[in-house]
Structure 1
């Protein structure tokens, strides 16, 4: 289970290059999962934070111009806090989906810059809570984890499949199928042919994942005031995706394939 919170801070950067940025922070809760206790939880949190920073550091992932208030002087800074309540399954995939959903629901208050006769600038924030703009999340990537088992690879591997895999490839994909970053995890190696096959699979699965996620977000937004307000209500309304619901392109040969036992 994952909780994501997006906080907005108004700032005036001393360095223009620091304007229009987003920061990622990860916290683990050891109450529900032993994997999150002690030093192991700290290492996992650091790994998650570094991976997410690499995935979302692309300038095109979020429309940074919409965060600018006064060029080179004032801007909005987004802090994305990820709270990992329970460890299980493909953590990076689930976190990337949760982050995109949180950014989709983020609203930026409209701000006006007023300048007097002496050239002094003042910032005026609208009193209307509905007078805001929303972020464009079309280019926000989602992560697809592909695990190599034998001569094949699978998407969204189960615990048993992960135990049989010596190497996995984390691929961040946009809604248009563009790959923004890759990371290999595991002690095993991947040959070039396998990497290219996994990249093609990741692109197809990533595009399907974006379509499914956007459909759920649009449906939830259309509910208006009747939309589920708590995490438990939301989970009850939209159960997690089952393996049978995954696209048919789960492997390089277009069909879910498991190595012979």
Structure 2
């Protein structure tokens, strides 16, 4: 009797699916994480350039990059090529049924090609040696060592880290002849990137509208829908893949996109920091680990949470040092401002009354000017009064009132004071 081999895989049976969906409804997970909490990512670089192992919980992936000289395609004669291949034969329960094995490998390969090849993350023109004759053919081989869910995110991180870690030999093309230089003759050349894509996977259940991030194999098989988003370090969307039976609205997808963009940017910073530490370790003698140490776990691992916490602590220390250094000048500026404000108030009080320190002759001349102004105002007011009696001359009365106000303002000027004194 034929037995369905999918029952041996975690999360395929009905009791397991019911248990996971009930836990998701209560915002609980089997490993104790929150719904929006990620697992720790660990990187380990090998002795060869382009050899990286990635661990996300119990999910482990090995990526290796190699390059060979080849001919370009007829459509793009000035660009190199990039090939990606994923091998999941290392996982025993995934290879029990040939149909499911082929389906998993095909979907994983297609998603990786969309993320790296379709988005054109590599500068393929830099891989050209001679147009339409010789180019570099870069190949990324990903081997799955253990599968505990979220295999796509682990594969993208491993492929990106391996491509950034890889170095190719330098080549010269003279007189239709290609010469490749060894590492002793010339330094190896890194690959050029246009952007750095990283993917984030979410699971959606019908029992709860809240999506679940970074699923395990049990949660991934029990999910109703799976959303895969790929963003680069500039927070630009590279790929979007959503499929399943659970309805996903725009609000859910936008919520996943915002958190995925932040996660991708942080992962790219982590990979760059890990590469810097690997370069420092390579400069020291007998510090490079081999492939055996990668499988055995004896090699030193670079943890995402550990490095990010160290960077945050360093930023906090720098901010505190800047605050302490700038506190003393600020206090000095405050004391100077207080002194200036006190002196300004004193000067304003002393200069309130100008007549106290003027000579008596000037005071007398000002009194004569005020008397003359009163005489002029008396001569003008009777004319304005006669015109006010007729209703038709109301506009002239208003003009007369304006004439009264204007001479008063002008009589206080220095020029008219001199005129009155001469008269």
Fold agreement, TM-score > 0.5: yes
Task: Please list, as runs of the form range in 1=range in 2, the aligned pairs for 1:72-87 lying within 5 A after superposition.
Answer: 72-87=132-147
- C-alpha contact 1:16 1:72 (8 A) present in aligned 2: no
Structure richer in helix, relative to its length: 2
Q: Which has the higher contact order (CA 8 A, sep 6+)?
A: 1
Q: Distance in 2 between matches of 1:24 and 1:215?
A: 25
Other-structure match for 1:61: 121
Seen in structure 2, the aligned counterparts of structure 1 residues 209 and 13 have a Cα distance that, compared at 3 Å, is closer
Residues 29 and 86, structure 1, Cα contact 8 Å, conserved in 2: no
1:69 partner SS: strand
Question: 1 CA distance for matches of 2:252 and 2:73?
Answer: 46
Matched residue SS, 1:96:
helix
Find the aligned partners of 1:17 and 1:25 in 2 and give their Cα distance.
Answer: 22
Alignment of 1:140 with 2:196, yes or no, is: yes
Q: Does 1:42 align with 2:69?
A: no
Aligned to 2:266, which of 195, 198, 208? Answer: 208
Where do 1:167-206 residues align within 5 Å?
Answer: 167-206=225-264
The equivalent residue for 2:215 is 157
Choose 173-182 or 132-141, whichever is displaced more: 132-141
- Partners of 1:164 and 1:47 in 2: CA distance: 18
Q: Residue in 1 aligned with 2:281?
A: 223
Rounded Cα–Cα distance in structure 2 between residues aligned with 1:45 and 1:202: 24
Displacement of 1:67 in angstroms is 0.8
Greater Cα shift, 73-82 or 8-17 = 8-17
Displacement of 1:74 after TM fit? 1.4
Q: 1:21 to 1:163 in 2, by over 3 A?
A: closer
| 1:52, distance to aligned residue in structure 2 (A) | 0.7
Distance change (3 Å), C-alpha of 1:227 and 1:128: closer
Mapped to 2, the partners of 1:220 and 1:70 lie a distance apart of: 33
Residue among 34, 38, 62 paired with 1:3: 62
* Structure 1 residue 241 displacement after superposition: 5.5
Unaligned runs of 5+ in 2: 1-59, 310-423
CA contact (8 A) 1:33 1:86 kept: no
2:71 matched to 1:71?
A: no
Q: In structure 2, do the counterparts of structure 1 residues 112 and 159 end up closer, same or farther at CA, with 3 Å as the change threshold?
A: closer
Distance in 2, matches of 1:8 and 1:70, equals 16
Q: Is the contact made by 1:173 and 1:206 (CA closer than 8 Å) also made in structure 2?
A: yes
CA apart distance, 1:73: 2.3
- Residue-by-residue CA offset, 1:113-161 (whole Å, 9 max, x unaligned): 102xxxxx11111134553210134613111112234221232123454
Q: Which has the higher strand share?
A: 1
Deviation at 1:232, TM superposition (A): 3.4
Shift of 1:240: 6.2
Residues 147 and 217 of structure 2 are in contact (CA less than 8 Å); yes or no, is this contact kept in structure 1? no
Paired residue secondary structure (1:85): strand
> With structure 1 as the length reference, what TM-score do the two structures score?
0.81
User: Quick one: distance in 2 between partners of 1:163 and 1:21?
Assistant: 35
1:48 Cα offset (Å):
0.7
Instruction: Give unpaired runs (5+ residues) of structure 1.
Output: 116-120, 247-261
- Structure 1 stretch 96-105 or stretch 209-218: which is displaced more? 209-218
Distance 1:56 1:114 in 2: 32
Please show how residues 91-102 of structure 1 align to structure 2 within 5 Å: 91-102=151-162
Look up the SS of the partner of 1:98 in the other structure.
Answer: helix
The aligned residue for residue 254 of structure 1 is none
Hey, what's the Cα distance between the residues in 1 that align with 2:218 and 2:138?
Answer: 38
Counterpart pick for 2:164 among 104, 117, 123: 104
Contact 2:201 2:228 in 1 (8 A): yes
